[in-house]
Amino acid sequence: MDKFVINIGRQLGSGGKIVGEIIARRLGIKLCDKELINLAARESGLCPECFEQADECGRKGVLSTLVGYLRAPFTGYEGGNTNNILANESLFRIQSDVIREIASRESAIFVGRCADYILRDHPRCVNVFITADEADRRARLCERLGCTEDEARSMMERIDEQRASYYNYYSLRTWGVAATYHLCVNSSTLGEEGTADFILDFAERKLHERF
């Protein structure tokens, strides 16, 4: 089987990460989400907190961080002033390099992180956006986080705005709009397992592959 990637964008509370985990488990491949921060930090020599603070902040959250050093494969840093300033754009570039490196060596599921844009030239990719009915999203967050419905609603608005800002800024595309993706699916219709089935069926057809 040739290497392939499935990139998942998702609304907060849609179950997108869970669907990604189901697909990754069924296919026996890696799911890359938060661990990308640790990989990028390890490869660059920066602390994970630098990436966590810059993650999904978009234009509004341009963060300047004191950098001890960076390794040449990612930024071309060759030593010198340890007080160099690394902006969000450089952090995004480092994380992008990690995503491309993973995709070049193995099949994987990527959740968020603009992976569909970063891997836009990958010959075998499937780009999916997962949404869900608002009531289901609130219920999922309340169960998972133990919050109230009002808190869940506020969180959904805030996080989705951050995700849209981040994605639109770096990709020059529009987050959550159907034309941006190969497939958009509402997980409320089929449930998490059923949504995973649907995405896998679509991926088989698009990639001309039998999983």
Q: Domain count of the chain? A: 1
Q: What angle do CA 186, 199, 7 make, to 5 degrees?
A: 95
Domain CATH code at residue 194: 3.40.50.300
pLDDT of residue 55: 61
Residue 50 in any domain: the answer is yes
pLDDT of residue 52: 66
pLDDT of residue 93: 87
pLDDT reading at 83 higher than 60: no
pLDDT of residue 178: 96
pLDDT reading at 137 higher than 70: yes
pLDDT reading at 63 higher than 70: no
Q: Are strands 84-86 and 65-67 parallel, antiparallel or unpaired?
A: antiparallel
Residue 42 in any domain: the answer is yes
Residue 211 in any domain: the answer is no
pLDDT reading at 202 higher than 50: yes
Residue 57 in any domain: the answer is yes
Highest mean pLDDT among 62-66, 133-137, 161-165: 133-137
pLDDT of residue 35: 74
Q: Left if phi > 0, otherwise alpha if psi is -120 to 50, otherwise beta: which for 146? A: left
Range of the domain at 81: 5-205
- Measured CA to CA, the distance from residue 198 to residue 190 in angstroms comes to 8
pLDDT of residue 7: 98
Residue 19 in any domain: the answer is yes
Q: Tell me the β-bridge partners of 32.
A: 110
pTM: 0.82
Residue 210 in any domain: the answer is no
pLDDT band at 197 (very low <50, low <70, confident <90, very high): very high
SS (H, E, C) 41-110: HHHHCCCHHHHHHHCCCCHHHCCCEEECCCCHHHHCCCCCCCCEEECHHHHHHHHHHHHHHHHHHCCEEE
- Measured CA to CA, the distance from residue 35 to residue 24 in angstroms comes to 15
Q: List, in order, residues 6 or more apart from 88 with CB less than 8 Å away.
A: 54, 57, 61, 62, 63
Residues of 67-82 as b/e, b for ≥16 C-beta within 10 angstroms?
A: beebeeebbebeeeee
pLDDT band at 81 (very low <50, low <70, confident <90, very high): very low
Residue 120 in any domain: the answer is yes
pLDDT of residue 54: 60
